Amino acid sequence: MGIVGTELRVLGQVELRVDGRVVEVGHARQRCVLAVLLVEANRVVTMEQLLDRVWADRLPYKARAVASNYVSRLRRVLAGEVAVVRRGGGYVLEVDPEAVDLLRFRHLVQQARGADDARALALLEEATGLWRGEPFAGLDTPWLAAVRAGLERERVAARLDRVDVALRCGRHTEVLPELFALAEQEDTDERVAAQFILALHRAGRTTDALAHYRQLRARLIEQLGTEPGTALQVLHQRILDTDPALAPPSTAITRATAPKAEQPTPRQLPVPPRGFTGRGTELARLDHALTAEPEEDPIPSGTNSGTPAAATVMISAIGGAGGIGKTWLALAWAHERIERFPDGQLFVDLHGFSPSEEPMASAVAVRGFLDALGVDPGRIPTNTDAQAALYRSLVAGRRMLIVLDNAATANQVVPLLPGSPSCTVLVTSRTRLASLIDRHGTRHFTLGVLTHDEARALLAARLGANRVAAEPGAIDDLIDLCEGYPLALSITARDAATRPAIPLAEVAAELRELGLEMLDHETDPAASLPAVLSWSLHRLTDEHRTVFTLLGVSPGPDITLPAVVALTGLPSVRARKALSALEEASLLERQPRGRYAMHDLVRAYATTTAHDLPDNMREMALVRVLDFYLHTASAAGRLLEPFRALVQPDPPAPGVHPHPLSDAAAALAWLEAEYATQLATQRTAAALDRHHVVWHLAWALDTFLYRRGHRRDALTVWRAAVDAAAHLPDPAIRSRAHRGLGSACALLGLHEEATGHLDRALELAMRHHDPTEQAHTHRALAISWELRGDDRRALDHARHALDLYRALGQPVQEADALNGVGWCAARLGDFDTARDHCHAALTLNRHHDLEGEAAALDSLGFIAHRTGDHQQALDHYHQVLILFRTLGHTYEVASTLDRVGHPHTALGQHERASQVWLEALELYQEQGRDDDAARVKRQLDDLGPALESIRPSGLDETT
């Protein structure tokens, strides 16, 4: 019992409309229930059917009650308009069939089958006009997917029926754009092919008609192993015979049109870029984007040289920073594929980012296109909307390429889009043109820098292959310095080409010294990288330009939103908007895991703009971001090693909030992600004489650096800390700095330097009566002397450390020293003493410290192996590896794996020994532990004969 003005629609999104107004139905599951009832309108849907069709095999708890609740809600939404009644163990949605678009569509199609052509055409146009997109858009259940597929087949059938009638009525020109799309979608459908071929022939494009027949025939033979059917072969022959009966009917039902004068073929593409090289992937991606269906994968497996066609205009947008080569790529693609567009090519520079001109109004561009299309000025309407409509009419049905270069906004582009799918549009812009993507299905991709090989090819094209081949090292330097940035490479090549007598090595040296200054050009802004980048800033707000500049001076290769908040002092919402604006302007790239990065040359330009900021603004920004990184790193360090001495930095600057870290795993993940930035933060702090930040960062990072095996970075970090500590008044800081540097030197085998720093640390601790620092330093000296090969001196220092820790009442450190004594005793062959001390260490550590527990078990494994109990050794090592892996302590994982191989070998388990040593070798190589890696390689070589002897027998210790 439908009421006038009510519409229930499923041929698109599921909607309820009352008097043209959309009434909110509810969330997706609610719309699914309505869709199921609408498909079966006026028929019973049982409860079992409803549950299966809405939830399939993922039924909710108390499914029948949930379904009844959804139906009750629908009744309230539909109140007074449509009835949902209970009947026959299910529900019936009682409605006037004319109120449901699906039922009306089917009724109109049925009516058209018994009507004359004029009436049938009107009915079928009304029927196909009811479709607003994919049926049940946004809903995804197995049953709806199957129904959707069936409805799509009904839609295609109705469209083909309408095309048949239109062709009989002489409307071939009007249906050509639709047939372009259908022929591409249904590329082996002979009915579609026949319609397309006939329409092309009647439109005077017989050559294209015959070409399509050949393409279809080849496709049918290749894919199906069959020739075209008799009807299509007859049509082909009749075209070859110029059969007059194929001419359009003389009594055609057409819209009133005036006779058209012959239109000129515009050829507006600028000259192709000289020396264009590379970009093979991007060219193929453009091929795919401008010929593929929307649901297809945008990354092509190959190129498609077919005729561009789809149900909508094919639009591709190339985004990227200024000077990245967007226009070069667009023109190179257009010239290489020019035969695809026999009816012409239109090109306009929209001046979206220009040093001297405002962005071109779209009306100006339309008028230029009308001139190019040969329209008599007297025929051009004065109204700009009418001009745009005339432009769309003139390009309709023509295979044309329209290149819209250097667009500023989507609003600038939209009036220039043709309405015919026979046209292809290529847009370049420094911005993403988001609404163009959302509303017009534009295929967008961001253009990146050239690969090393592409950059080399570009330089060879500009400088000559002989000159490039003569100085390969200099060429590599130039490519590295320009980092694949096309404009930078072109400027460098131009400079080198104008000085042929100057060695390229000298050019590279100048570029290394002068940097961005060498890529500037005072008289030609288009040939100046700083000038080109500056144009992108013109359209930003003052706040966004300030953020851009501050990002240039911020430490590290990339940054996250919390760090940007600290750097800029902005609230999170405004900082996020600034990042989005910079990303939109292609000045910043968003990377995985919420990180943002600039190309180094863009960053260098941002740094040059820093002089525009007041000194105090720049300084306070750096103070804030340094404090953010320092305090987060300090919190992370405490989570990784909670029993380490608490060394608290000064409070952070006002408004700075460290990144919250919940546990040790979160701390480790944050330090991994921010590792390069932390090292850069310390360098920045040192350059600004922020000595306390330099020292505290070394202390905060020490545990992470050790666990991850970053020995060389640890050396650099602690050298900076010693330099900084010399400027700080606290002697404990100076002692800790020398101890940290001494330990870092010891791990790298710099034994003399290690001993010197550790002795200096001990001297400072004793002079200032600091027993805790004395104990720590004795423990560090024990490790240093053990690494140096003097186990007796190592044992003496370990005993000193143990006595001091016991006197201080520090059980965690006492356990560490007990293990140190036991380890040294074991290396000296005193296994009873060693075992007693290590068991004592294990007992203490099981109450306090996982890392200490792992170290004690590792020592006990070593003792068990040396005393012949190899299985016990393996049992201990197994527990050690679990603990060290849990802690993320890859440095000790590598060392333990190295030791595990020996009891395996002693037990004849050579395959297992090989496996653990290969894993240790990989970790040693990653950590730069070259001596350890070389030793493990020798161990593996020694295993060779044993492995060869067991392989023929088929034995495998791993199975």
DSSP-assigned beta bridge partners for residue 45: 91
Of 62-76, 340-354, 449-463, 559-573, give the range with the top mean pLDDT: 559-573
> What would the pLDDT profile of 13-24 be if each residue is shown by its tens digit?
888 888 777 788
Whole-number percent of the chain with pLDDT over 70: 92
Q: How confident is the model at residue 291 (pLDDT cuts 50, 70, 90)?
A: low
- Helix 206-224 vs helix 230-240: angle between axes, to the nearest 10 degrees? 150
170: pLDDT strictly greater than 50: yes
Query: Residue 97 has which token pair?
Result: 């069939």
Residue in 160, 175, 129, 121 with CA at minimum distance from that of residue 421: 175
AA identity, residue 134: E
Cβ neighbours of residue 920 under 8 Å, at least 6 residues apart? 894, 895, 897, 898, 901, 932, 936
> What would the pLDDT profile of 347-401 be if each residue is shown by its tens digit?
998 888 776 567 888 888 898 898 888 887 767 777 777 788 888 888 888 889 9
Looking at residues 201-205, what average pLDDT do you find? 85
Cβ atoms of residues 671 and 701 within 8 Å: yes
Q: How confident is the model at residue 514 (pLDDT cuts 50, 70, 90)?
A: confident
What is the predicted pLDDT for the residue at 444?
78
Residue in 657, 736, 723 with CA at minimum distance from that of residue 690: 723
What is the predicted pLDDT for the residue at 324?
83
746: pLDDT strictly greater than 90: yes
Residue showing tokens 């079928």 = 124
What is the predicted pLDDT for the residue at 768?
93
What is the predicted pLDDT for the residue at 2?
39
What is the predicted pLDDT for the residue at 301?
30
Q: How confident is the model at residue 311 (pLDDT cuts 50, 70, 90)?
A: very low
pLDDT: is 260 or 145 the higher one?
145
Give the up-direction half-sphere exposure of residue 923: CA atoms within 13 A in the CB hemisphere. 21
Cβ atoms of residues 700 and 636 within 8 Å: yes
Distance of alpha carbon 746 from alpha carbon 951, whole angstroms: 41
Cβ atoms of residues 422 and 176 within 8 Å: yes
What is the predicted pLDDT for the residue at 523?
55
503: pLDDT strictly greater than 60: yes
| Total residue count of the chain as it appears in this document | 959
Whole-number percent of the chain with pLDDT over 90: 39
Looking at residues 32-60, what average pLDDT do you find? 90
441: pLDDT strictly greater than 70: yes
DSSP state of 270: P
302: pLDDT strictly greater than 60: no
305: pLDDT strictly greater than 50: no
Cβ neighbours of residue 880 under 8 Å, at least 6 residues apart? 854, 857, 858, 861, 892, 896
Looking at residues 789-800, what average pLDDT do you find? 95
One-character DSSP codes across 820-842: HHHHHHHHTT-HHHHHHHHHHHH
What is the predicted pLDDT for the residue at 836?
95
Domains of the chain: 1-169 (1.10.10.10), 185-250 (no CATH), 280-446 (3.40.50.300), 452-525 (no CATH), 563-611 (no CATH), 613-710 (no CATH), 729-809 (1.25.40.10), 890-953 (1.25.40)
Distance of alpha carbon 510 from alpha carbon 458, whole angstroms: 20
- Helix 615-640 vs helix 664-673: angle between axes, to the nearest 10 degrees? 140
Looking at residues 434-440, what average pLDDT do you find? 78
407: pLDDT strictly greater than 70: yes
Looking at residues 607-611, what average pLDDT do you find? 84
Query: Residue 449 has which token pair?
Result: 């820098």
What is the predicted pLDDT for the residue at 551?
94
Average pLDDT, the chain: 85
Q: How confident is the model at residue 297 (pLDDT cuts 50, 70, 90)?
A: very low
pLDDT: is 277 or 31 the higher one?
31
759: pLDDT strictly greater than 50: yes
What is the predicted pLDDT for the residue at 256?
34
Of 284-293, 632-641, 949-958, give the range with the top mean pLDDT: 632-641
Query: Residue 675 has which token pair?
Result: 């590792």
> What would the pLDDT profile of 463-483 be if each residue is shown by its tens digit?
888 888 998 898 998 888 888
Of 396-410, 499-513, 595-609, 829-843, give the range with the top mean pLDDT: 829-843
Strands 345-349 and 401-407: parallel
What is the predicted pLDDT for the residue at 521?
66
Looking at residues 244-248, what average pLDDT do you find? 78
Residue showing tokens 């905060």 = 700
Query: Residue 163 has which token pair?
Result: 């095309």
Distance of alpha carbon 163 from alpha carbon 169, whole angstroms: 10
Q: How confident is the model at residue 306 (pLDDT cuts 50, 70, 90)?
A: very low
> What separation in angstroms does the CA of 682 have from each of 104, 439, 694, 745, 839?
71, 47, 5, 19, 40
> What would the pLDDT profile of 873-925 be if each residue is shown by its tens digit?
999 999 999 999 988 889 999 999 999 999 999 999 998 998 999 999 999 99
What is the predicted pLDDT for the residue at 526?
63
Looking at residues 759-781, what average pLDDT do you find? 95
505: pLDDT strictly greater than 80: yes
What is the predicted pLDDT for the residue at 262?
55
> What would the pLDDT profile of 580-594 be if each residue is shown by its tens digit?
888 888 788 888 888
pTM: 0.61
